[in-house]
Amino acid sequence: MKHYRLLVSVAAVLAFVVVVVGAFVRLSDAGLGCPDWPGCYGKLTPSAAAPQIARAVNEQGGTFGPVSLPKAWKEMGHRYLAGTLGLLILAIALIAWRRRRELGQSPWLASAIVLVVALQGALGMWTVTLLLKPAIVTGHLIGGMTTLALLTWLALAQRRYVEAPDARRLRGPAVLGLAVLAVQIVLGGWVSTNYAALACPDLPLCHGQLVPPMDFRDAFHVIRDLGMSADGQLLPLQALVAIHWTHRMFALVAATVLGWAAWRALRVAALRPLGILVALALALQISLGVANVLLDLPLALAAAHNAGAALLLVSVIVLNFFAFRGAAPRLRRS
């Protein structure tokens, strides 16, 4: 069904947009632009809530606090996009069940995506109502990336491809690459949600040292408030350094494993374009990470780094898809 295929493809693209816009909202400190959920001060739009927003701005002493009309629009814009994506995914699941014989595929993947999105909606609500707790915000990021990955797989499954038995040799590298990338994305999310991106302001060292003083106990204590340690004290700089340093060190592991997976793909003629895709996405992501540190985390580059992570995830998901299907990314003529 062409319409179903188009619907799934649109949902996958929209999921990518939602992930990037969500990162932009977080990085621009607009996550509490509307401190309730799902509306904005109980209204459908920030414009309708303008009096309440103006009162909040006055109480916080200006627009530099968490609430302002522009921040409210950023927050609600993300919610509108996420809501649209949720409706698309629900429609996809319903069609997958009703037309499962025509489609010739199991509807369970589409149903699983609905469950992920339901959890993602709850995490989005808790992100606001629990005042940006790092564990909740990181979980929200993981949910968004998981939705993107599953929709990418579902979109790929809607087309026909030529057989490529040699592609199965890449199952090990592809799975390992995906596992390592997943860990790195979680670590990156933990850096972002704890605002630790500039905790190490120099490269390749951190505060001029290979192993600077660090506080891992507070850094990776999951149940705590934003900017606070587990015992309610201000989170020390050494904890932020530990978060950033861990993400940076594991990036070396991720780059090595993903580079190896790309190299293995380049050795399989049918999957050579995918090897190039993974390699380019990896090089772009590393470059963006370095640029963010050297240029003191400009908003556009920080958002681009999140987009790069999503793009790298998509490329690795595509590699896994063809490796496990034993197929090549060329459409079979009907």
Q: Are 331 and 307 in contact (CB under 8 A)?
A: no
Residue 298's CB is within 10 A of a number of other CB atoms, namely 12
What span, in angstroms and rounded, lies between the C-alpha atoms of 165 and 150?
A: 24
27 CB-contact burial (10 Å; exposed 0-12 / middle 13-18 / buried 19+): buried
Closest CA to 123 of 22, 8, 228, 241: 22
Q: Which residue bears the tokens 């699941």? A: 93
Q: How close are the terminal C-alpha atoms of the chain, in Å?
A: 14
Which of these, 317, 4, 309, lies nearest to 150 by C-alpha position?
317
Catalogue the active-site residues: 75
Measured in residues, the chain has a length of: 334
CA distances from 221 to 190, 197, 244 (A): 11, 18, 15
CA distance 147 to 16: 9
Whole-angstrom distance, CA of residue 281 vs CA of residue 230: 37
Note the helical H segments in the chain.
Answer: 2-27, 50-59, 69-98, 100-103, 108-129, 134-156, 171-193, 216-219, 237-266, 272-294, 299-325
Taking the C-alpha atoms of residue 238 and residue 218, their distance in angstroms, rounded to an integer, is 9
Q: Which residue has the tokens 């120099």?
A: 202
